[in-house]
């Protein structure tokens, strides 16, 4: 088992190598739920807080000149885990928050082969599948409140300082206290010496290579192996990343779905001139989704932006087979499912669902509410003696 050099760095100073991330890890853990599990501990050094993540530390590498960028930056191939760390760090903004990382001595060509970011790694989009349109775009800079106060500017300068540290020795050393990964590793080894034999994975199951994980890393390697979770739980009893049944979507995903519904309805309305008029976009969507134009431009497979004078623009849908899944009916169904799930999760997975003006909003495309529920494999109707019925989530096996 290789021992990595462990350092502290602001996760906001680390960049993504890939344009998109999926909403779940390979082991079916939900990315957003994992981000919510991250805790913090106080730090007496250069940082106010240090993140305590329920997954293996991310690996970072100094790279960039080979991608045609100006200068080099800290990058990671563990893109989903980086999103979790950045999301957790922004919950405490403008405090200076650090994450423990492993420094990777990698061949630049390995990083170059995996790199496909169009924003220099500054942002990332999330979707259930790489074939689907992004649900939302994440750029932590968009979460920074405006106008910039003195405290916020100080925090931004601190992040920039971490990003400009070119040498490993310039990064703060991680404490080898009881929560450090080295200490956890040592405790794990001691516990395993006296633990029952660990289950041997079947040949068909995924196994970890004995070499550093990022030597062959990609988005597919950004996960926590099942056998590792099992052994750590059974041997040490303090692994905190439990399997989760709560499949609640991030609020950005719900907002993105609703925004897409409004946009497609406007574009397909009789007499549409391609000029979008979404009331109060900034107040309703801006904080989570960015500007309307940026939201549209990120969905280049669905929409084409036609620039006009004075910063104005028109939008045209891309009518192609790749966009067939994004019909009005599919978009409205996705919006309805999101709203239904949100209500059910608030009631523990089962309860009464009330959709405002279902007939006016969805009847023409989705049919009666009860018929729609019966057509969905993720819902079931709970029998009742009253004229009202309840709806329950169907847990996938």
In the chain, % of residues over pLDDT 90: 21
Q: Please name which of 214, 235, 233, 232 lies closest in space to residue 223, comparing C-alpha atoms.
A: 214
- What pLDDT, in 10s, does the model give residues 312-324? 889 988 764 344 4
Of residues 157 and 254, more confidently modeled: 157
Task: Give the residue carrying structure tokens 């779905």.
Answer: 257
Could you tell me which of 50, 32, 31 has the C-alpha nearest to residue 40? Answer: 50
Instruction: Dig out the tokens for 288 from the structure.
Output: 């989570």
Q: Which strands form 350-351's sheet, in the order they lie side by side?
A: 350-351, 390-393, 379-382
Torsional sign, CA 101, 102, 108, 113: negative
For the ranges 135-139, 156-160, 321-325, 343-347, the lowest mean pLDDT is seen at 321-325
DSSP 3-state percent helix, strand, coil across the chain (nearest 5): 40, 15, 45
pLDDT for 127 equals 83
Residue 57: band (very low, low, confident or very high) from pLDDT cuts 50, 70, 90:
very high
Distance of CA 243 to CAs 29, 73, 201, 220, 250, Å?
Answer: 6, 34, 18, 18, 18
Phi first, then psi, for residue 315 (nearest 5°) are: -125, 135
- Interval 286-307: pLDDT, tens: 887 888 988 888 787 788 888 8
Per-residue pLDDT at 262: 85
37: confidence class by pLDDT, cuts 50, 70, 90: very high
- List the 124-127 sheet strands across, edge first: 20-22, 124-127, 136-138
- Which two structure tokens, joined as six digits, stand for 375? 């057509």
Residue written as token pair 């760095």: 9
> Of 26-35, 74-83, 336-345, which has the strongest mean pLDDT?
74-83
pLDDT-derived band of residue 241, with 50, 70 and 90 as boundaries? very low
Q: HSE of 251 in the Cβ direction (CA atoms, 13 Å)?
A: 7
**Tokens, residue 40:** 């913090």
Bridge-based pairing of strands 58-63 and 97-103 is parallel
According to the per-residue pLDDT averaged within each range, which of 186-195, 238-247, 289-298, 312-321 is highest? 289-298
Q: Within 10 A of 54 (CB to CB), how many other CB atoms are there?
A: 16
DSSP state of 201: P
Mean pLDDT value of segment 27-33: 85
- Sorted by sequence, the CB contacts under 8 Å of residue 308 that are 6+ apart come out as 314
Integer Cα distance of 239 and 223 in angstroms: 15
Are residues 365 and 371 in contact, defined by beta-carbon separation less than 8 angstroms? no
């Amino acid at each position: 088992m290789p021992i990595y050099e462990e350092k502290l760095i602001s996760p906001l100073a680390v960049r993504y190598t890939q344009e998109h991330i999926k909403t779940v890890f390979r082991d079916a853990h939900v990315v957003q739920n994992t981000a919510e599990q991250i805790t913090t501990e106080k730090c007496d050094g250069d940082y106010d807080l240090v993140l305590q993540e329920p997954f293996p530390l991310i690996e970072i590498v100094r790279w960039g000149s080979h991608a045609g960028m100006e200068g080099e930056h800290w990058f990671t191939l563990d893109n989903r885990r980086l999103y979790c760390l950045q999301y957790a760090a922004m919950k405490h903004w403008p405090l200076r928050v650090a994450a423990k990382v492993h420094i990777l001595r990698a061949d630049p060509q390995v990083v170059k082969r995996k790199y496909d970011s169009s924003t220099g790694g500054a942002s990332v989009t999330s979707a259930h599948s790489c074939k689907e349109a992004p649900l939302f775009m994440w750029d932590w800079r968009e979460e920074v409140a405006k106008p910039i106060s003195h405290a916020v500017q100080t925090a931004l300068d601190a992040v920039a300082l971490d990003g400009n540290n070119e040498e490993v020795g310039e990064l703060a050393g991680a404490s080898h206290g009881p929560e450090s990964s080295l200490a956890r590793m040592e405790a794990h080894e001691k516990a395993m010496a006296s633990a029952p034999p660990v289950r041997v994975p079947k040949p068909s199951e995924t196994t970890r290579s004995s070499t550093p994980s990022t030597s062959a890393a990609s988005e597919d390697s950004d996960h926590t192996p099942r056998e590792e979770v099992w052994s750590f739980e059974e041997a040490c009893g303090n692994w905190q990343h439990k399997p989760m049944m709560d499949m609640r979507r991030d609020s950005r995903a719900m907002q993105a779905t609703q925004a897409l519904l409004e946009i497609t309805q406007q574009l397909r309305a009789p007499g549409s001139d391609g000029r979008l008029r979404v009331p109060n976009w900034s107040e309703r969507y801006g904080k989570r989704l960015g500007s309307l134009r940026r939201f549209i431009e990120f969905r280049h497979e669905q929409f084409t932006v036609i620039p006009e004078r004075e910063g104005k623009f028109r939008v045209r849908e891309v009518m192609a087979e790749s966009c067939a899944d994004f019909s009005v009916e599919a978009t409205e169904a996705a919006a309805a499912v999101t709203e239904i799930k949100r209500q059910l999760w608030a009631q523990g997975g089962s309860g009464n669902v009330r959709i405002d003006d279902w007939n006016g909003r969805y009847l023409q495309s989705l049919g009666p509410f009860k018929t729609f529920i019966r057509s969905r494999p993720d819902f079931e109707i709970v029998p009742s003696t009253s004229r009202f019925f309840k709806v329950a989530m169907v847990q996938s096996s």
